[in-house]
Structure 1
Amino acid sequence: MDIVFEELDYCETHMGDLMLRKRSIPSLDGKIIYEVKLGEEFLMSSLFHDAEVALSHLGLDSFGTKQVDVVVGGLGLGYTAQAALEFPNLRSLTVIEGLSEVIGWHKRGLVPLGEKLTQDSRCRLLHGDFFELAQSANLDPEHAGRKFHAILLDIDHTPEHFLHLSHGGFYQPEGLEKMARHLHPGGVFALWSDDKPDEGFCKVLESVFASVEAHLVEFDNPILGGTSSNSVYVAYAQ
């Protein structure tokens, strides 16, 4: 079986060199995976997306049969957004992505979920800085004062390991309070993290939200063997 390695896109961005590639893994019977790198850092792989899916499930499950409007911060390979679209009572989904090139991957069909996201009438891909919008008066700049039932965030590695230093203030009480103003009463903020649950960050969330949960999401790691894990924080507004 031929080993596939293909660079699908490469561009320079204000955050560093961005690369989308796909390759096969001979040890997994030639399974094709998609990977994203920013500078020297691996951002995501289609081989590991369990926690990205769990971010939507954990963030939306409490709404039951209620019709909900949802924001996803960070498009990536689209797994969190796709899981949100599968929620039976989703009314609208706004995905805010800071790199226009990533939105372009989906519109051009370069990534597996691109067609599903771009052809679903409930889903809108918005080019913008989530962190700037979350601190502003309008999270959705096209609809002044609009509020949402859930905000699901998957951009930085962890609440202490940022893709850009400008993101740091968001994870402090003042930044989270400004973001929470965009939620309906009883709304949910959920956050993906590449680390285990952090008690200190839970306390920061508890200073802003009525209640907080931290979930450890474990998944098989066929590359290293055994299991790996990410975290999902779920915070409930008053």
Structure 2
Amino acid sequence: MSLLFKELDYRPTAMGVLSLRRRRELTLDIDVYEIKLDDEYLMSSLFTDAEIALADLGLAELSGDNLDVVVGGLGLGYTAKAALDNPAVGKLAVIDTLAEVIEWHQNGLLPLGPQLSGDPRCSLVHGDFFAASLAQTLGMDPARPDTRHDAILLDIDHSPANVLHPDHARLYTEDGLKQLASHLTPGGIFALWSTELPDPAFEAKLATAFATYRSDVITFKHPVLDREDINTVYVARKAA
């Protein structure tokens, strides 16, 4: 039995105070890991269905092997782990602006850390995903700026209309999405997680930047409150 609550790390950052906590959920007899920024919860291991679905739904749209994938946002690592579980993925770059989160994985403070850090296909990149998505280079991985990607999977903001930082908002404009699409190979996939229901205004912007798109509503059961919760995964394809 672990301690009922433990703060594993606490760091001041440019975005606010970042903390990693582990608590015991007695009703389920499990340890729950949570990342907070100031008083806002960024991620909890209690809810991972949509994060996993982001990778599963996005990559299911692609054929072939040795896929080159970028994940925006490391968090607790569930989207990255789901991508690596796909045998067609040959290269994965996970970009996160918080070096502290990368350190937590590399130092084994998080359950998925050893699997991500130990997979030779995976690189954990300290960088600004939003700056990279709007850059003029072909690729988003700073180690391979001349390489476009088969898929870009994004799980950082709560939704296109509810961002963690004002600088992020530019990506969710028509011009921002078109620039992000330029980092994809022909027929490549952009997939985005949102905590809200499909947003018609954002769907209209996707339609200007991509050949096709769809909005998949993900339903999952709240394991403690015994209720159904809803997230959205947008999946957009670049013209071939």
- With the shorter chain as reference, the TM-score category is over 0.9
**Greater CA deviation, 1-10 or 61-70?**
1-10
Question: SS of the counterpart of 1:101?
Answer: helix
- 1:39 matched to 2:38: yes
Rounded Cα–Cα distance in structure 2 between residues aligned with 1:212 and 1:61: 14
CA deviation vs aligned residue, 1:60-86 (integer Å, no higher than 9, x gap)? 002233331000000000000000001
Match of 2:237 in 1: 236
Amino acid aligned to 2:196: D
Paired letter, 2:75: G
Whichever residue aligns with residue 220 of structure 2, its letter is F
The residue matched to 1:220 in structure 2 has which SS?
strand
Deviation at 1:198, TM superposition (A): 1.1
Q: Which runs of 4+ in 1 moved over 4 A?
A: none
Structure 2 gap segments, 5+ residues each: none
By how many angstroms is 1:88 displaced?
1.2
**1:151 corresponding residue in structure 2:** 152
Matched, 1:64 2:60: no
Q: Matched residue pairs, number?
A: 237
Q: For residue 15 of structure 2, what is the aligned residue in structure 1? A: 15
For residue 111 of structure 1, give the secondary structure of its aligned residue in structure 2. Answer: coil
Once the two structures are TM-superposed, the CA of residue 142 in structure 1 deviates from its matched residue by 2.0
Identity %: 49
Tell me by how many angstroms 1:3 deviates.
5.7
CA contact (8 A) 1:137 1:145 kept: no
Shift of 1:137: 2.2
8 Å Cα contact 2:62-2:188 kept in structure 1: no
Aligned partners of 2:9 and 2:20 also within 8 Å: yes
Corresponding residue for residue 92 of structure 1: 91
Matches within 5 A, 1:40-189: 40-138=39-137, 139-189=140-190
Which stretch of structure 1 is more off in the superposition, 36-45 or 133-142?
A: 133-142
Structure-2-length-normalised TM-score:
0.96
Residue 26 of structure 1: how far off its partner (Å): 1.8
Q: Secondary structure of the residue that 2:111 maps to in structure 1?
A: coil
Q: Deviations over 1:40-77 (max 9, x none)?
A: 11111001000000000010002233331000000000
Alignment RMSD (CA, Å): 1.1
Relative to the length of structure 1, the TM-score reads: 0.97
Contact 1:150 1:183 in 2 (8 A): yes
Q: Structure 2: how far apart are the matches of 1:103 and 1:214?
A: 30
Query: Which ranges in structure 1 are unaligned for 5 or more consecutive residues?
Result: none
The answer as to whether partners of 1:180 and 1:237 remain within 8 angstroms in 2 is: yes
Query: 1:2, CA displacement in angstroms?
Result: 7.4
